Every structure is written in structure tokens, then in C-alpha cells.
Amino acid sequence: FRFKDSLAEDLRRADLVISHAGAGSCLETLEKGKPLVVVINEKLMDNHQLELAKQLHRDGHVLCCNCSTLVETLQSMDLSTLKPFPPGQPEKFALFLDKVVGFQ
């Protein structure tokens, strides 16, 4: 599908997610604890998706490929090598923001 209001139900049922490297898609999938194969769109200008995908791959959280290597990646992947993504800590950000704004 091209767009869907919520992926929550699809993610809940998924054994593996194959996605573009958009921040929302990657983080939502990783927060649900699902293995993720990120397919990089190399044609994007100022490719922030590439930067995110490479960092998540370096950190061991995702497998990374492009369209031409997707089949090979799926055939050779070892999902047991993926590391769980650490949970967010929004309370730390809130404390930081309070200090910056002057609420503390």
C-alpha cells in the first residue's frame, strides 16, 4: 500500500518488516521489536534516509540493502544477529527541554 493511517495492526502481526528508510517507519517497527530490512532509495536528494539506515545498520538494529540487492539480502539474512532497539526515554528529553526553556 502507498499510505495507511496506522500500521499498528500490520506490525503486530508481522514476522518481518521490509520498509523504506523513513524515520517514522523505522522507529515504529523497531519499537515494536520486529526485525526490519531497510531498502534505501538511492535516488533521493539530500538523502537523510540513507544516513538513518546506515546508522541503524552500524548499530546492529536493521539489515540494509537497496532494490537491486533485496532478494540476495532476504536469501542470506540471519535475523539472530539483530540487536533489540533500546526504548525511548521521553522523560529525559522533557527535563532537557524544561532546562532550555527555563522551567527549572
CATH of the domain at 51: 3.40.50.2000
Structural domains counted in the chain: 1
Q: In sequence order, what are the beta bridge partners of 37? A: 18, 63
pTM: 0.80
Domain contains 54: yes
What per-residue confidence (pLDDT) applies to 47? 72
In a domain, 21, yes or no: yes
Burial of 50 (0-12, 13-18, 19+ CB in 10 A): middle
- Domain around 82: 7-101
* Domain-embedded: residue 97: yes
Is 61 within 8 Å of 36 (Cβ atoms)? Answer: yes
Kindly report, residue by residue over 1-40, the tens digit of the pLDDT: 778 888 899 999 999 999 999 898 999 999 999 999 999 9
Q: Is residue 68 part of a domain?
A: yes
59 within some domain? yes
Kindly state whether residue 1 falls inside one of the protein's structural domains.
no
Residue 53 has pLDDT above 80, yes or no: yes
What integer best gives the mean pLDDT of the chain?
Answer: 89
Q: Do the domain assignments include residue 2?
A: no
Query: C-alpha angle with apex 21: 71 to 63, nearest 5 degrees?
Result: 45
Question: Measured between alpha carbons, how far apart are the two ends of the chain, in Å?
Answer: 46
